[in-house]
Amino acid sequence: MSKNYVAVSRAIVDAIGGSENITAITHCMTRLRLVLKSDKPVDLARLKSIDGVLGVVKMDLQYQIIIGNTVSKVYEQVIKLLPEGAVQETQLIAKKSWSFRRVGSGILDALISTMSPLIPAIIGASMVKLLAMIFEMSGILTKSSSTFILLNVIGDGAIFLLTDYGCRLCCTEIQNQYVARHCYFRGVGASSIY
């Protein structure tokens, strides 16, 4: 990506119809998320051809501009281009019409945001359990050795806490206190059964 974040941000703002067309702006790990007033002034081909833009995802009036790990630097420069006192981060989803696609997209977004942080824990626990199994199968460790037991406890511990951590992430995503408490206690109960 081009290191000239000022030029990239200026090109993005110009391609979406100027700073006055931006209603809300935020970013995640790799994407610059913009909610626009209108998509009529947006030049999508020009936006996709900007050096540093890896892709564009459009959902109604929300544009997700895929930039990569340097998105925070581009975000800072775009913020500088906004008029003084403009709202930087707002709820990106305003009142919208109902559709099956939107409901499906919402469910998928909730699942992804809940499950994505769990992937490293699942992989780490699996690797520790695999290491214990390989050592035991190759004869390096016996099932009664303290190292084998320790590796199993570490691997099982991560799996044991996944339900609790998953429930906490789900509660954060739902943003409903009653459901959050119920979900949390069910997670604690499920993890204690394991």
Residues taking part in catalysis: 28
- Residue 121, token pair as written in the block: 């824990």
Element at 59 (helix H, strand E): strand 55-59
User: What whole-number distance in Å separates Cα of residue 16 and Cα of residue 122?
Assistant: 40
Do residues 47 and 6 lie in contact, with contact meaning Cβ atoms separated by under 8 Å?
no
The residues, any chain, with a CB within 8 Å of residue 142's CB and separated by 6 or more, are 136, 148
